[in-house]
Amino acid sequence: MGKLAIISDLHADINKFTPADLHEIAGYIRELGATRLHIAGDISNRFAREGEEIIETLNQVLPTTFNFGNHDMLSVARIEDSLAPGFLNFTPLPLANDTVLLAFNGWYDYGYARDPEGRRPSDLLVSQYKKRYWIDQFIKRPESDPSISQQLEARLDRSLETLERQGQRVIIATHFVPQQDFIFYPKPENKRAITWRTLEGLLGSQAIGDTISKYNTVSDVVFGHIHARTGVKSINNIDWHCRPIGYRYEWAFTQNWLRERGLPPRFHFARQPKVQTAYLEDLHQNWEQILHDAVTLLDY
């Protein structure tokens, strides 16, 4: 028996996490009782350069595996079959005699996109918005986004069917959002809101969530991508968990720290090194505040 911890959206480069920070993060998770760690994507924009070092640093504290998120895909050539140590994508990881972790990258099919009247805009429009506004425009993929998502959905269906025949309890980790209940559509319908409602199509796929829901052997699904710590929702007798770490300017800890000092919410730390040093000193003393609702713990 053990306890699996799953986190997502580490963004080690954007958050400027040092190896010491990663040790402290993994140490905090171990203190929660975790015996294994899995990262459900968005480890670093520079994964090809620093990803293996990040995973090895975490491995020094806890056995660590991972799947890719879109930010990781920016710099890697092999998205679905990476050879990086610890990478899991549709390869079940046995946790106990009757429990496996099935991790996969996932993708999106534009299905969450909505126009102001609540209708789904055309795939062409979503694709155009992606090329104008979204960092994923720099990811090299051989087919259209909906086609890739459909192929992954079929692969997931085959994997879950096999695990169901084996009588395995399945914990799923993926990066992109597999349940529309977690999608927030902004209002009022100004130009910015309409743009974001279209870009919601790049957040995930309900079709993948529907495929997961077909199988009674799935107990939990953990994902990220949207930087909103929504927690857990029970849908179709499955617990769906969304607790991304996200960017440090989004943390309640950071916002409270700035507010207490009369500083603006999007304060530029790099422009005032002394303030940044004070912030980092407090950060190192407060991992519990930063991470207490950003870790999903599952017994196995």
Query: Concatenated DSSP letters for 225-292?
Result: SS----EEEEETTEEEEE-----GGGSHHHHHHHHHTT--TT--GGG-HHHHHHHHHHHHT-HHHHHT
- Please, are residues 75 and 46 in contact by the beta-carbon 8 Å criterion? yes
Peptide bond into 178 cis (omega under 30): no
Angle 191-199/123-133 helices, nearest 10 degrees?
A: 110
Q: Return the pLDDT at 190.
A: 81
Question: What domain range includes position 250?
Answer: 3-299
d(CA 52, CA 247): 21
Could you tell me which residues are beta bridge partners of residue 67? 40
3-state secondary structure of 180: helix
Q: Return the pLDDT at 85.
A: 97
Q: What total number of domains does the chain contain? A: 1
At 67-82, the pLDDT tens digits run 999 999 999 999 999 9
Contacts 24+ apart (CB under 8 A), 119-126: 120/201, 121/198, 121/201, 125/198, 126/198, 126/199, 126/201, 126/202
Q: Please identify every stretch of the chain with a pLDDT value under 70, giving residue numbers as ranges.
A: none
CATH number at residue 274: 3.60.21
Q: Return the pLDDT at 158.
A: 98
Which helix (H) or strand (E) segment holds residue 131: the answer is helix 123-133
What pTM value is reported for the model?
0.96
At 193-233, the pLDDT tens digits run 999 999 999 999 999 999 999 999 999 999 999 999 999 99
Q: Return the pLDDT at 184.
A: 93
Q: Return the pLDDT at 281.
A: 92
What does the block give as tokens for 110?
């534009």
Q: State the Rg of the chain over Cα.
A: 19
Q: Return the pLDDT at 122.
A: 96
